[in-house]
């Protein structure tokens, strides 16, 4: 969600940067080393590793790089774009297999691009805490009673321990749990007001079902992706700000009630 590269990719970036420095070096010893090592098939040598890295990211071959004389800025741009493209594709493939990301707009995930929850968070401790809780909900790592039941092969009852109405999943927590009603009321009202002002009553109707409202609150990018509402970036940041407060208040209230009931 932070758009960060894995450690392997960061090492590759440094590897390719060093290659560019060697290629553009005016030191004759470095030139000779490059020419000699490029033709030696030593799998453990730096240049053999560079060849594999270049091939992995579909970049020019070592010979082509040596002859092309890329400037430092140009080579940095080319290699950075290739690495980001490769790992974005890997990220999307991996995300498609994760059932926990059902509420996350994975199509918007890109290396070098932060998710809306972090892109819109304020630089203060409280909002960062809200962002952390919201991120856990988006990625499906926020533990609810239904998760506990699943992890324990359903030896634990999935029913919400606070209201006893139904299984406690994210939709229940966000939209129905009567024990959390007061935490929900004001923020949902604010979301409804915003949607109505921007898209009219029909706009609110289109997201008012429990499932659609959960999607809007957890990751409004999904609402746009599904074509439910034509949300702009400004709309999504506004909704994200309100929903982040909502999710955090639900989280805090839920913890307090669990503590009161010694759950």
pLDDT of 14: 95
Look at residue 67 and tell me whether its pLDDT is greater than 90: no
pLDDT of 200: 96
d(CA 148, CA 248): 20
Residues 186 and 69 in one domain: no
Which whole number is the average pLDDT over 45-53? 89
Q: Looking at the domain assignment, is residue 239 inside a domain?
A: yes
Tally of structural domains, the chain: 2
Q: Looking at the domain assignment, is residue 105 inside a domain?
A: no
Q: Looking at the domain assignment, is residue 113 inside a domain?
A: no
**What residues contact residue 161 under an 8 Å CB cut-off, 6+ apart?**
145, 168, 258, 261, 263
Residues 91 and 122 in one domain: no
Percentage of the chain surpassing pLDDT 90?
Answer: 67
Q: What are the backbone angles phi and psi of residue 102, rounded to the nearest 5°?
A: -60, -30
Q: Looking at the domain assignment, is residue 28 inside a domain?
A: yes
> Can you give the residue range of the structural domain that contains 252?
118-260
Cβ neighbours around 209 below 10 Å, total: 11
d(CA 172, CA 178): 9
Confidence of residue 11 (pLDDT cuts 50, 70, 90): very high
Q: Looking at the domain assignment, is residue 111 inside a domain?
A: no
Look at residue 38 and tell me whether its pLDDT is greater than 90: no
Residues 14 and 82 in one domain: yes
Q: Looking at the domain assignment, is residue 207 inside a domain?
A: yes
Residues 122 and 83 in one domain: no
Look at residue 248 and tell me whether its pLDDT is greater than 80: yes
Residues 86 and 215 in one domain: no
Residues 83 and 176 in one domain: no
Average pLDDT over the chain, rounded to an integer:
91
Confidence of residue 26 (pLDDT cuts 50, 70, 90): confident
pLDDT of 242: 96
Q: Looking at the domain assignment, is residue 42 inside a domain?
A: yes
Confidence of residue 15 (pLDDT cuts 50, 70, 90): very high
**Residue finishing a domain among 66, 97, 128:** 97
Confidence of residue 241 (pLDDT cuts 50, 70, 90): very high
Residues 158 and 215 in one domain: yes
Residues 72 and 136 in one domain: no
| pTM as predicted | 0.82
Work out whether the CA dihedral 24, 27, 31, 34 comes out positive or negative.
Answer: negative
Residues 192 and 255 in one domain: yes
Look at residue 223 and tell me whether its pLDDT is greater than 90: yes
Which whole number is the average pLDDT over 116-123? 88
Which whole number is the average pLDDT over 47-51? 89
Q: Work out the end-to-end distance of the chain between its first and last CA atoms, rounded to an integer number of angstroms.
A: 31
Q: Tell me which residue of 250, 238, 182, 179 sits closest to 214, measured CA to CA.
A: 250
Residues 122 and 252 in one domain: yes
Task: Give per-residue pLDDT as tens, 139-194.
Answer: 999 999 999 998 887 788 999 999 999 999 999 999 999 999 999 999 999 999 99
């Amino acid at each position: 969600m932070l758009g960060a590269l894995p450690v392997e990719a960061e090492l590759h970036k440094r590897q390719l940067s060093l290659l560019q420095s060697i290629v553009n070096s005016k030191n004759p010893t470095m030139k000779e080393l490059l020419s000699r090592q490029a033709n030696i098939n030593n799998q453990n040598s730096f240049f053999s590793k560079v060849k594999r890295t270049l091939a992995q990211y579909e970049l020019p071959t070592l010979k082509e790089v040596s002859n092309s004389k890329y400037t430092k800025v140009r080579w940095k741009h080319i290699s950075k774009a290739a690495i980001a493209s490769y790992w974005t594709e890997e990220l999307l493939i991996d995300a498609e297999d994760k059932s926990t990301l059902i509420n996350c707009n994975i199509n918007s995930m890109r290396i070098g691009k932060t998710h809306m929850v972090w892109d819109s968070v304020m630089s203060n401790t409280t909002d960062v805490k809200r962002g952390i809780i919201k991120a856990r909900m988006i990625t499906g790592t926020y533990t609810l009673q239904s998760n506990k039941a699943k992890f324990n092969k359903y030896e634990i009852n999935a029913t919400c321990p606070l209201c006893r109405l139904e299984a406690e999943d994210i939709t229940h927590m966000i939209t129905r749990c009567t024990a959390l009603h007061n935490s929900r009321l004001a923020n949902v009202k604010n979301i409804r007001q915003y949607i109505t002002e921007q898209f009219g009553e029909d706009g609110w109707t289109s997201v008012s079902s429990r499932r659609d409202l959960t999607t809007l609150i957890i990751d409004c990018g999904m609402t746009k992706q599904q074509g439910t509402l034509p949300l702009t970036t400004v709309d999504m940041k506004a909704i994200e700000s309100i929903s982040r407060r909502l999710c955090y208040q639900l989280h805090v209230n839920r913890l307090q009630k669990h503590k009161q009931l010694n759950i």
